[in-house]
Amino acid sequence: MKRIILILTLFLLIINPVFSASTVKKDISVQSVDGFGIKATLEYPKVKGKKDYSTVVLLHSLGYSSQWWETLPKELTNSGYAVLKIDLRGHGKSVYNSRLVRTSWKSMTNSAYAKYPDDVIKVVEFVKAENSKKTFFNNWAIVGADIGASTAILAADKIANKPKTIVLLSPVVKTKGLYVPVKLANLNMDIFSISGTNDVSGAEAEKYLKKFAQSTFATYTSEANSTGMLMLKSDNSLAKIITSWIKEYL
């Protein structure tokens, strides 16, 4: 009986490998088209001989940074994915413009926020170009929270190599001049949108955005009483739920 259990366990490990906590982490620094310094971190499982990684790009909430993703990055790397966490301009370490003047999101105009999609694409293209021995964007997905969700849709519309799926946390129809519906209508990919129990605006945005979706637009109500990426802190199951969705596509 023990031998049968051992064989079954080994079989499951083969078809669904569990990666160790050992990862490779690289700090990334990119200059945007207008000279703004965009910082990011690429982390992926250290697996001998592995050259092709599916990648998940994480775009944070307004007023936060890439350090606020709680357990989601670890959940993703433990599942074999590379994770690219980007500090959107005006946040985290991405706070210096072309004149090295510190710039906060609080003082930015809508014209600066309009550059978010191009900033993300710039980082993605940089990672592709700088890693000749490994590939990270043959298959990829984006997870974005509030303004990060808007940026995810707008970047997916502009980039040539489309992500396989997008996960939205507390989506918004329009914020800081970033208007989503028209660009969403251009995308032919499945989308998973999550809002919290008290996130009335997020739930309303989901209903509206669903009208523009050209493919599956699945929704989920988290037990969290918060919004955006903060839902990951109060709902411990959310990281696994997001990862499970991504596994269907990558």
Helix axes 116-130, 147-158, angle to 10 degrees: 60
- The C-alpha atoms of residue 93 and residue 65 are separated, in whole angstroms, by 8
pLDDT in tens, 212-230: 999 999 999 999 999 999 9
Distance between CA 46 and CA 24 in Å, rounded?
A: 6
Cα–Cα distance, 224 to 205 (Å, whole number): 18
Spatial CB neighbours of 100, under 8 Å, sequence gap ≥ 6: none
What's the token pair of residue 247? 């596994």
Answer for the pair 108, 175: CB distance below 8 angstroms, yes or no. Answer: no
**Mean pLDDT (whole number) for 17-22:** 58
Q: Where are the domains of the chain?
A: 22-247
- What are the pLDDT digits (tens) for 71-112? 999 999 999 999 999 999 999 999 999 999 999 999 999 999
Percent of the chain residues past pLDDT 70, beyond the cut: 92
Residue 5 has pLDDT above 60, yes or no: no
The CATH code of domain 22-247 reads 3.40.50.1820
**Is pLDDT larger for residue 58 or for residue 6?**
58
DSSP letters along 69-125, please?
Answer: -TTHHHHHHHTT-EEEEE--TTBTTB-B-TT--B--GGG--HHHHTTHHHHHHHHHH
pLDDT tens by residue, 128-171: 998 778 999 999 999 999 999 999 999 999 999 999 999 999 99
